[in-house]
Amino acid sequence: MSSPGLLLFKTLWGWTASLEQACSSADGQRFDGLEVNLDHPCLNALQPEAIRGCLADAKQHLIVEIVTGGDYTPDLNCSPSQHLDQVQRGLERAMALAPLKITLITGSDSWDEVEQHRFLDRLLDQIEACAIPVTLETHRSRSLFDPWRMPAWLARHPRLRLTADLSHWCAVSERLMTPELPPIQAMAARVDHIHARIGHAQGPSVSHPFAPEWAEALESHRRCWQLFLDQSARPERPVTITPEFGPDGYMPLQPFTAAPLADVQLLNAEMASWLRSSMLIPADPNRSR
């Protein structure tokens, strides 16, 4: 199992089998739980009590992902009010599954700053009324797409808690994120969940995180994640991490055959094994620095 301040989750992005099979796979790969989109096909055929029972029998936690705006890249015609309505309906559905956490991919990068702050104020009111911890992901095309706004926005919205996916910011800013950068420093104590995919200066996913040509990218992400763990993880409030290599244009493909360069299911299991190493155990607050 993972350390008291860190739990590891298996993503069901790209998973085509049943929830029961997902639980069995997660157990075999020593994950602490599953992370799944609220509209994933493996949930659609099951009633909430059946989902809860399956997870309980497997001793697996659950993180639910809610996506607004129609898809992972939001419809430009979807208004802030429509996003908020979708969040509310999603939260009500997610609560019935008794998840450990809920992560939101919401908002749009197309709105002006006044609209962004009005949206976040209303969204955080919704989140505050939810009994389950809810975080917002730093996802491209969404409200939190821009790393350079993050320090000021966190100061303006002290209730905001984050799912950190630094791979998106690598693609947006065309540079690796490192612990010394102001956005990373500002967000470190506000991160409750991490999506552990390795991005690079020209994209949101390397072909294989442990290939030597991506060593610098791997290390820059590791250092940021370690900072988040050191500042956020507590035994009563563990940081959760989901290795999140996936399909849909993220995994590079072989030309002409369109075969993926690596098996994302294996990559996520390998990343979880690597994350269990001492490199990502939260630092002892009594240890001298």
For the chain, the average pLDDT equals 93
What are the structural domain ranges in the chain?
Answer: 6-275
pLDDT value of residue 70: 96
- Mean pLDDT across the stretch 165-192? 98
- Looking at residue 281, what is its pLDDT? 63
The pLDDT, as a whole number, for residue 5 is: 66
Euclidean distance between the first and the last CA atom of the chain, given in angstroms as a whole number: 27
Between CA 242 and CA 50 the distance in angstroms is 23
CB–CB of 72/47 below 8 Å? no
Q: What pLDDT shows up at residue 286?
A: 43
- Write down the pLDDT at residue 277: 82
The amino acid present at 57, given as its one-letter code, is D
Q: What are the distances in angstroms from CA 274 to CA 57, 131, 197?
A: 27, 32, 13
Question: Could you count the other beta carbons within 10 Å of the beta carbon of residue 24?
Answer: 14
Joined together, the tokens standing for residue 50 give: 């059946």
CA distance 150 to 170: 14
Of the candidates 169, 166, 162, 168, the one whose C-alpha atom is nearest the C-alpha of residue 192 is 162
pLDDT at 279 over 70: no
Q: In terms of C-beta density within 10 A (0-12 exposed, 13-18 middle, 19 or more buried), how is residue 276 classed?
A: middle
What pLDDT shows up at residue 233?
A: 74
Full-model pTM: 0.94
Residue ranges in the chain assigned as alpha helix (H): 19-28, 41-44, 48-58, 80-95, 113-128, 150-156, 166-173, 182-187, 215-232, 264-275
**CATH superfamily placement of domain 6-275:** Divalent-metal-dependent TIM barrel enzymes (3.20.20.150)
| DSSP per-residue string spanning 204-267 | S--S-TTSGGGHHHHHHHHHHHHHHHHHH-BTTB-EEEEE---TTTTS-B-TTT--BSS-HHHH
Give the integer Cα–Cα distance in Å for 22 and 35. Answer: 10
pLDDT in tens, 56-100: 999 999 999 999 999 999 999 999 999 999 999 999 999 999 999
